[in-house]
Structure 1
Amino acid sequence: MKLKTSWLFALGIIGALVLYLVVRSLITAGAGGKAEASQTPPADAIPTVQVIAVPETMHPHAVVIRGRTEAARAVVVRSETAGVVAATPAQEGAFVRPGQVLCRLEVEARAATLDQARAALRSRQLQHQAATELAAKGYRSETQVLQEKANLDAAAAAVRQAEIALEQINIRAPFAGVFDRREAEVGTYLAPGQPCGTLIELDPLLVVGDVPETEAAKLRIGAPATAKLVTGETLSGQIRYVARDADPQTRTFRVEIAARNPGNEARSGLSAEVRLGAGAGRAHRVPVSTLVLDSAGRQGVRYVTTDGLVAFSPVRVLEETPEGLWVAGLQGPARVITVGHSYVGEGQKVEAVLAR
């Protein structure tokens, strides 16, 4: 049976197409093998890493904690005598000076008592003078003169007592500060010991916080400190107190900084980021991206030695800045690996190229 011409033509086309595909696949496989062979680096090739030269410098160390502002002194000013409040000259929230009247009580009979005591004093003075003159003439004994002197002293003491009682109607500020809260209004009856109001001292202002037990030994009284308040203000001062006994719950130590606060601008109770001066030491500034972990899980950096070998040094972060991390642990000038540190190991020979 003879095949039709159309079938023969179709079989010829199919055969040509199959032959083309087979030849093309063979050529592509050969070219790919050559390309792969050309891209495979030699087994003894030295890897290239990028490094930066980091000098060793003296850097001030700082302990950074979270803190808060507190008044240097806060006193509840109380009445020393009983009476009804007649006036409140100091405005609540106003700055007051030492001795300024915060609350004034009714005078009542205190002025009359003082007048009576002064009159009795004048009488005793006259009696003492007369007794002295008569004793000089022999009409009075020495004992009578001494008795009159004692009566005179008692009268003077009574005057002083009446003056104090009259002065006690003025409840005064014991120091300069802010009259933060008034607790007695006009017409309020105050018994001895009852409060007129609360006075706080804001200059100097205290900034207090809790230091971890690992950092407390680094701090010294008088060391400089700064506090950046949540309001954006910055206060500068000195460490005035570091606790010797840790908080039993948190195992932290209280630290206090005394900072100047002109005009009482900063308030008590504000949150702050506190930087405490902790001396100075040798350190290196490295990019954050250079930190790696070794096989033991230690944080550090990889660098290239003078022999061209990769080495690892564990480091301790001292401070984080926008320019990089200040770390301690490296020795002397170092060529720290910035690119390729994750693909090389300690002791490996590398070619170091300065990063641009």
Structure 2
Amino acid sequence: MASIKQALSKRPWIISLFILALLSLWLFSGYLPSAPSADEPAGQQAEAKPANITPPLAKVIVEQFTPQPVTRTISLYGRTAPDRQATLGAEVSGTVEKLLVRKGQRAKTGQPLLQLAKADRELQLLRAKALLKVRDQEFKAAQSLRKRGLQGEVALSQAEAALIEAKADVRSLQIALDNTVIYAPFDGIVETLHVEQGDYLGVGDPVASVVDLDPLVINADISERHIDKVYLNQPADINLVTGFSTQGELRYRASVASEQTNTYPIEIEIPNPDMTLTAGISADVELILETKPAIKVTPSMLALDEAGNLGIKTLAAQDTVAFHPISLVKVEPDGVWLGGFDSPVNIITVGQGFVRDGDNVEAVQQLGSE
């Protein structure tokens, strides 16, 4: 016995090997089939064998969504501007004799705005007309003498030239006299008066600015990704920062993009018959593209497929999961509108992250859903 203890003390790995052998024998003994007893019926022996266990189906919650007609739009930022604006200048020199309108007043086409002093222009016109009468008589006399051969061709030509010059003088003086009154070029509002009564104006000096606000124009810029979706007379919903809302039409689309921003300028006009809407107001523009059926979902309902594509998971026939990539129609603060559905669809709202396309699931209809 002492010799065995001495041998084990020198070789302790023998003890470890012996313990390992005992553990292995104990573990494998559980897999050995027990021999059926002779007095057990064959049916009971068969029931003693373990049955195949089927894993439970994943449980998901679904909600039915019904497509609704949704208008697809492009959102832009713009500012109101006049349809037309003109800065009027003096075409003749003179002193401002009378202002016929006030700043901010509406004016009709051809309405007098300002009267310059006529000075001696009326007398100069009368003298030019009298001289024209003389030149006309001289020309007629030269024609008569030329027909009788009593005057040469050169004299007739000189008389004709003098007549034409006299007519030009009359016309020039008449225009100068007419230009002492400055008229409105179109219906609009006198936005600015640059002069006061008594001011002296030279030719070209600014007199007044007139703006036409009917229709009112909204200037905006559209990106190069959306320019192919824009066309003339395209309807647009307009919301001014003042709270006023209306609908307009696109009247201009640029053909060349800005080199600085790579955007295209566009113009949308809205009716403003009373010219109560002013220029320079911020505006939200919704260009209307098309109306198509869509369903509204929250971002939490979106899921990824195995390829990393964003979409939604629906419940198909026989409780099978089907993945649909998103077709974005419209984005709102509380959700997104997705197209591609023409009939009611059951969307997995809870548990979509734990199932894949084609999986069979146990579906529970969400309470309160359609």
TM tier relative to shorter chain: 0.7 to 0.9
Which residue matches 1:116? 127
Alignment counterpart, residue 166 of structure 2, candidates 137, 152, 155: 155
Which residue matches 1:50? 62
Q: Given the alignment of the two structures, is residue 95 of structure 1 paired with residue 110 of structure 2, yes or no?
A: no
Distance 1:271 1:326, change over 3 A: same
1:41-80 paired onto structure 2 within 5 Å: 44-45=56-57, 47-55=59-67, 59-80=70-91
Deviation at 1:292, TM superposition (A): 2.0
Q: Given the alignment of the two structures, is residue 244 of structure 1 paired with residue 249 of structure 2, yes or no?
A: no
- The total of aligned residue pairs comes to 312
Distance 2:325 2:97 in 1: 72
Contact 1:283 1:326 in 2 (8 A): no
Distance 2:362 2:267 in 1: 51
Alignment counterpart, residue 284 of structure 1, candidates 283, 294, 298: 294
Q: Given the alignment of the two structures, is residue 194 of structure 1 paired with residue 180 of structure 2, yes or no?
A: no
Alignment counterpart, residue 94 of structure 2, candidates 83, 86, 89: 83
Distance 1:52 1:283 in 2: 15
Alignment counterpart, residue 226 of structure 1, candidates 237, 246, 267: 237
Larger radius of gyration: 2
- Structure 1: gaps spanning 5 or more residues: 1-41
Distance 1:90 1:253 in 2: 39
Contact 1:286 1:327 in 2 (8 A): yes
Aligned partner of residue 350 in structure 1, secondary structure: strand
Alignment counterpart, residue 172 of structure 1, candidates 159, 165, 183: 183
Which residue matches 1:353? 365
Distance 2:275 2:216 in 1: 8
Which residue matches 2:268? 257
Distance 2:316 2:238 in 1: 41
- Structure 2: gaps spanning 5 or more residues: 1-53
Contact 1:290 1:301 in 2 (8 A): no
Q: TM-score, normalised by structure 1?
A: 0.77
Distance 1:169 1:291, change over 3 A: farther
1:132-151 paired onto structure 2 within 5 Å: 132=143, 140=151, 144-151=155-162
Same amino acid, percent of matched pairs: 28
**Alpha-carbon RMSD:** 2.9
Contact 2:294 2:329 in 1 (8 A): no
Contact 2:60 2:351 in 1 (8 A): no
Distance 2:58 2:241 in 1: 53
Moved more, 222-231 or 44-53: 44-53
Contact 2:59 2:351 in 1 (8 A): no
Moved more, 152-161 or 140-149: 140-149
Distance 1:175 1:100, change over 3 A: same
Aligned partner of residue 235 in structure 1, secondary structure: strand
Distance 1:129 1:245, change over 3 A: closer
Cα shift readout 1:37-76 (whole Å, capped 9, x = no counterpart): xxxxx9515525232143486x543211111111122221
Contact 1:70 1:208 in 2 (8 A): yes
